[in-house]
């Protein structure tokens, strides 16, 4: 696949949806034999995320057949300390 063959979206802040279409052709000639393999088809994966992500900071990289997603946590999803006041 090529990097532009992917469609990556984040739905509702906590579900990553990855879509694409692969088209692979392999041809080999050995003596009198000619071998040709074709694999193609669409795919879609929905991956639930453990927390909301900052969609503006999301990044994707595709290299050597591996897709890397960087999905930083949303500022509202980061834990913060709450001060307790006495009466």
| pLDDT score recorded for residue 61 | 92
Tens digit of each residue's pLDDT (9 = 90 or more) over 6-45 = 999 998 888 999 999 887 778 888 888 888 888 788 999 9
| pLDDT score recorded for residue 18 | 94
Q: Return the CATH number of the domain spanning residue range 3-77.
A: 2.60.40.790
| pLDDT score recorded for residue 8 | 93
Alpha carbon 56 to chain centroid distance? 15
| pLDDT score recorded for residue 46 | 95
Q: Please, which contacts does 66-74 make with residues 24 or more away whose CB atoms are closer than 8 Å?
A: 67/6, 67/18, 69/8, 69/16, 71/10, 71/16, 74/13
Q: Could you tell me where the beta strands, DSSP code E, fall in 31-71?
A: 33-48, 59-63, 66-70
Domain ranges of the chain: 3-77
pTM reported for the whole predicted model: 0.67
């Amino acid at each position: 696949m090529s990097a532009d063959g992917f469609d990556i979206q984040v739905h509702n802040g906590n579900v990553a949806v990855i879509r694409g279409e692969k088209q692979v052709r392999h041809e080999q000639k050995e003596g009198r034999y000619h071998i040709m393999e074709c694999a193609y088809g669409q795919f879609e994966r929905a991956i639930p995320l453990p927390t909301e992500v900052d969609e503006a900071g999301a990044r994707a990289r595709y290299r050597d057949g591996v897709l890397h997603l960087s999905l930083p946590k949303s500022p509202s999803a980061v834990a913060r300390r709450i001060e307790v006041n006495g009466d």
